[in-house]
Amino acid sequence: MSTIRMTMAQALVRYLCNQFTMVDGKKVPLFPGVFAIFGHGNVTCLSEALEAVKDTLPTWRGQNEQSMALAAIGFAKATRRRQIMVATSSIGPGALNMITAAGVAHSNRLPILLLAGDTFVNRRPDPVMQQVEHYNNPTINVNDAFKAVTRYWDRIVHPEQIISSLPQAVATMLDPADCGPAFIALPQDVQELACDYPEVFFAETIHAIPRPRPDQDRLAEAIKLIKNAKRPLVISGGGVRYSGAEEVLGALAIKHGLPVAETIAGKGGLVHNHPAHIGPLGIVGSTSANALAAEADVIIAIGTRLMDFTTGSWTCFKPDAKFVSINAARWDATKHRALAVVGDAKATLEELAPALEGWKVPDAWTAKGKSEFAAWDKMLDGFRKPTNEPVPTYAQVVGVINDKAGDRDLLITAAGGLPGEVMKNWRVKTPHTFDLEFGFSCMGYEISAGWGAAMADPTRTPIVMIGDGTYMMMNSDIYSTVLSGHKMILIVCDNGGYAVINRLQQAKGTPGFNNLIKDSKVKEPFSVNFAQHAASMGALTRHVDSLADLASAMDWAKTTDRTTVISIVSDAFTWTPGDAWWDVGVPSVSSRKSVNEQHATQIEGRKKQRVGV
């Protein structure tokens, strides 16, 4: 057997360089790049290996380990899980900074390969700088913390181990059921060791994402249940988009008169004006989708994990409603007494279609979906319409940006008040132009994801919308995009703090406390000049005071040659209605009458919850 002698770090990098996949009929690298901050544990051996292939496997310099890993996740979402970025850090705090990003990827079922430096296997110099010691178990260090937020975890303690570990990590990240972050710890003394690796280990490999087919007996049960339905409702989740099932679903829905509601991850599979689309469902949903969910007798959940924001904490549906859950992951398919059809969304719908020939949803139910959605769409016009109020609402700001966005421009946002406002008010013009990270609701995802998305597809411009709180939490990748030449348009809505959490706090009986800046323990409230701050990082910037100026600034931003930031003061108290009920903990005993009243209301609301597992 022919072998090649190289270090473990060199072999790992060479393996990554020889992995490919097919995207739209074209062979492309499975791992198109690495985000890196070098330090103790990865700056000598791993960086030496990466430097040697910098023209084949580009390395991008990050500003923060969390943000660079979030950029990798934004890249994965923009490519619909078909390509995978790598993020590497030093040991200790550098590694721990990536844990939040690992949680984002794990919650959202997104692939990323995380490579962190590790302490010495031989323990000769222990304790090394940044090593956290466990007195009862010296094998544990900070990298063990990744076990809670990764789908695959390994520590390489012998250079030969990557021969078995790397293919398993790749298989995990490409598996539609197990997809998520893979983590490999790289002890620095093992990185330097040389080994005679089989040449075949580095052979060019073209990977294909598998499409598991459904069990035929389960599919037959599902068909029978669907055909007997009088008021069926489809919930389109993120799995529809990642499977590429949106066209099949859209055609099937039109043919049979099926109303289609969307989840947070599923929004953008169908365009806003698709004939079967009835709007987003749940806590940040529409009155139209929630109205149909309340009456539906059979819910066909496709590619969704059915989180509480989709289900209204399981109050959106009738107690006796039946669920058919089509999902590549058995875990997600079997939730809440659903008839589980485990399989790829596209493959399952293609097998389902012939059996539904001649069947149609009752005309009255299809008409109700269209009527409810038309009424909701008209309401959106009202929410987005400019008024004479001095401070614009989120809905009005979203409306202006949406109108100015190009058909292929990608909208990105995450935590705070904007998720609910864009879910309701953003009208998707072209499939796959909407990225709302709300599986983990991670403040700080947005700007970093914009960098990754711009890198994934240079032919379109990411439009990132954030609040002032998120901007203050993580903004350094504005600088990253200027350095690397990956443009985004960033809209900063300044509403004076954490406004949506203030809304929840006050809605449950507690006066505003420590959320808005004016309600916090500060010497003197003042506003950050976000335009000036972003300009100091090399971005082009404007602060605007009106919706008309915002529209003009958007026109200008589309002509610029680099990341462009626009800031605007927005209303902290006006929100678009349409929400479902949400289960949150409210104190059962309080000196405040308002809190006691809200606790009683919460207990009453729980009586409507669907009992499940």
63 domain residue, yes or no: yes
3-state secondary structure of 545: coil
User: Looking at the structure, do residues 62 and 190 belong to the same domain, yes or no?
Assistant: yes
3-state DSSP of 566-595: EEEECCCCCCCCCCCCCCCCCCCCCCCHHH
User: Quick check: 514 pLDDT over 70?
Assistant: yes
Is pLDDT at 157 greater than 60 in this prediction?
yes
From 375, 398, 416, the end of a domain falls on: 375
User: How much is the pLDDT for 613?
Assistant: 52
Measured between alpha carbons, how far is 395 from 54 in angstroms, rounded to an integer? 44
606 inside domain: no
- pLDDT tens profile 537-594: 999 999 999 999 999 999 999 999 999 999 999 999 999 998 899 999 999 999 999 9
| Residue 8 sits in the same domain as residue 81 | yes
**CB–CB of 266/236 below 8 Å?**
yes
Q: Does residue 612 carry a pLDDT above 70?
A: no
Report residue 487 as tokens: 């443009």
> 92: domain CATH number?
3.40.50.970
Q: Are residues 479 and 545 in the same domain?
A: yes
Identify the domain boundary among 166, 184, 207.
207
Percent of the chain with pLDDT over 90: 96
List C-alpha distances in Å: 81 to 76, 86, 247, 367, 500: 5, 13, 18, 36, 31
Q: Are residues 365 and 227 in the same domain?
A: yes
Q: Looking at residue 205, what is its pLDDT?
A: 98
pTM over 0.75: yes
Which residues on neighbouring strands pair with residue 187, listed in sequence order?
Answer: 118
What are the pLDDT digits (tens) for 176-233? 999 999 999 999 999 999 999 999 999 999 999 999 999 999 999 999 999 999 999 9
Domain end (from 375, 408, 431): 375
Whether 468 and 371 share a structural domain: no
Q: Is the predicted pLDDT of residue 152 greater than 90, yes or no?
A: yes
Give the phi and the psi of residue 566 in degrees, each rounded to 5. -125, 125
Residue-level pLDDT at 456: 98
Condensed to tens digits (0 to 9), the pLDDT of residues 49-96 reads: 999 999 999 999 999 999 999 999 999 999 999 999 999 999 999 999
Can you give the pLDDT at residue 336? 86
Claim to verify: residue 353 and residue 401 sit in the same structural domain: no
Residues 365 and 282 in one domain: yes
β-sheet bridge partners, residue 155: 185
pLDDT recorded at residue 524? 86
Secondary structure (DSSP) of 310-365: HHTTTTSS-TT-EEEEEESSHHHHTGGG-EEEES-HHHHHHHHGGGGTT----HHH
Instruction: Give kind and range of the element (H or E) at residue 604.
Output: helix 593-606
| Overall number of domains in the chain | 3
Say if 342 falls within a structural domain: yes
For 221-255, the pLDDT digits (tens) are 999 999 999 999 999 999 999 999 999 999 999 99
Does 285 share its domain with 370? Answer: yes
pLDDT digits (tens, 9 = 90+) for 253-291: 999 999 999 999 999 999 999 999 999 999 999 999 999
301 inside domain? yes
Asked whether residue 361 falls in the same domain as residue 392, the answer is no
* pLDDT one-digit tens code per residue, 375-405: 999 999 999 999 988 999 999 999 999 999 9
- Burial (CB < 10 A; 0-12, 13-18, 19+), residue 173, is buried
Helices 477-484 and 445-456: crossing angle in degrees, nearest 10, is 20
Asked whether residue 15 carries a pLDDT value surpassing 90, the answer given is yes
Based on the fold, state whether residues 48 and 192 are members of the same structural domain. yes
Q: Is residue 591 in some structural domain?
A: no
Could you tell me if 339 and 417 lie in one domain? no
Look at residue 578 and tell me if it is in a domain: no
453: domain range? 388-569
Residue 551 domain-assigned?
yes
Q: What is the CATH number of the domain that holds 316?
A: 3.40.50.1220
Q: Do 335 and 437 belong together in one domain?
A: no
- Let me know if residue 574 belongs to a domain: no
**For the segment 302-360, what is each residue's pLDDT rounded down to a tens digit?**
999 999 999 999 999 999 999 999 999 999 999 988 999 999 999 999 999 999 999 99
Q: What are phi and psi of 435, to 5 degrees?
A: -130, 100
- Classified as helix, coil or strand, 383 is helix
Look at residue 610 in the predicted model and tell me its pLDDT: 85
